[in-house]
Amino acid sequence: MTAAERPRDAYVSQFSALTRDVRESGLLRRRYDYYWPRLIGAALGFGAIIAAIALIGSTWWLLVLAAVMGVVMTQIAFLGHDAAHKQIFASGKWNDWTAIVLANLFVGLSHGWWQGKHSKHHANPNKRGSDPDIDLPYVTFTPEQADERRHPLTDWFLKRQGWFFFPMLLLEGLDLHLTSTKRVLGRAPLKRRTVEIVFLGIRLIAFPAFLFLVLSPGVAAAFLGVQLAVFGVYMGASFAPNHVGMPIVPKDMRLDFLRRQTLMSRNITGGRWVDAAMGGLNFQVEHHLFPNMPRPNLRAVAPKVREFCAEHRVTYTETTLWRSYGIVVRHLNEVGLGVRDTFTCPLVAAYR
């Protein structure tokens, strides 16, 4: 087979045909009817939580509200994700500022840090040396990483890291806040640094100060702890099923856009409740193929993508939420044990 006959070259125009069909169907148009009520609801919901804290006062029953706040923060983070992908408004500036306000002021995350990291992930999902989401200090995603991190003191954990993954998410919210703070206060270039610092300061300093002002120290600390734990677990449990346990490709492998985004992504099946709970991330294949498509349209485009993949013999992966969690745990444990599961399907072998 000559270079001109390789699948990478033969299939490069297929995605253009799918994109044209999707555009003509109107599924890339903005959905203000969907997003405006949610944006307004997010602001009102967050404000209602603050008002309820002040009105109810210091009682351990507030820990229920803390858990609710963790859920609300995650849902707001999903909206920030959509804005960062230019899904909400036709105006790029409106999307950017909406993402900054939602991420920094409401959730306590640096939009600039997250967008840079997430853009690299979308460009090369599950690709060694390119995807920051598979290069974390506390979880090992590849056998090569496991080999580099092997030590008598860590070997026991590596072999069982899958079982520890979800409990570790209890600290994910705190880690996201600390990483964001470090990023905005660091020297690396950051667009709108002053705005991000001010918004993060309000969220991460003024809000805890408010809690300790109106609540007893114990209740205030517990409130922050529960809210952060719920937020971290919810965020991690929504993002982990999308790619963990899917093929990891070598850094020197080249794939066309369609296969690069589809083969490394996993959809989560279920009804509308799954759409709402996961913020549309359950349609991960469609999201990676059309990152600026409004969230409510992902369910509508899924049959088109599924049919297209079947026609062109492109693997389209989907499973239930609970099975995906089992896959995550099993994969991480196997990686820690040093199991090699090289991505050697005939298609990828042809791309060599």
pLDDT in tens, 52-89: 999 999 999 999 999 999 999 999 999 999 999 999 99
Amino acid at 6: R
Domain boundaries, the chain: 3-351
Q: Tokens representing 119?
A: 């853009």
- Alpha-helical (H) ranges within 240-311 are 257-262, 272-277, 284-289, 298-311
Q: Which residue has the higher pLDDT, 196 or 337?
A: 196
What confidence score (pLDDT) does residue 291 get?
A: 96
SS3 191: coil
- Residue 203 in contact with residue 107, Cβ under 8 Å? yes
Tell me, rounded to whole angstroms, the distance of Cα 318 from its chain centroid: 17
Per residue, the 3-state secondary structure of 102-171, as one string, reads HHHHHHCCCHHHHHHHHHHHHHCCCECCCCHHHCCCCCCCCHHHHHHHCCCCCHHHHCCHHHHHHHHHHH
What confidence score (pLDDT) does residue 7 get?
A: 54
What confidence score (pLDDT) does residue 148 get?
A: 86
A 10 A CB-CB count for 94 gives: 13
| Mean pLDDT within 326-343 | 82
Give the C-alpha separation, 219 to 227, whole Å. Answer: 12
What confidence score (pLDDT) does residue 70 get?
A: 98
A 10 A CB-CB count for 351 gives: 14
pLDDT category, 21, cuts 50, 70, 90? very high
| Mean pLDDT within 293-313 | 96
Q: Tokens representing 274?
A: 């799954």
What confidence score (pLDDT) does residue 149 get?
A: 85
Q: What angle do CA 107, 77, 113 make, to 5 degrees?
A: 75
Please state the pTM of the whole predicted model. 0.92
Q: Could you give the percent of the chain with pLDDT greater than 90?
A: 79
| Mean pLDDT within 134-154 | 86
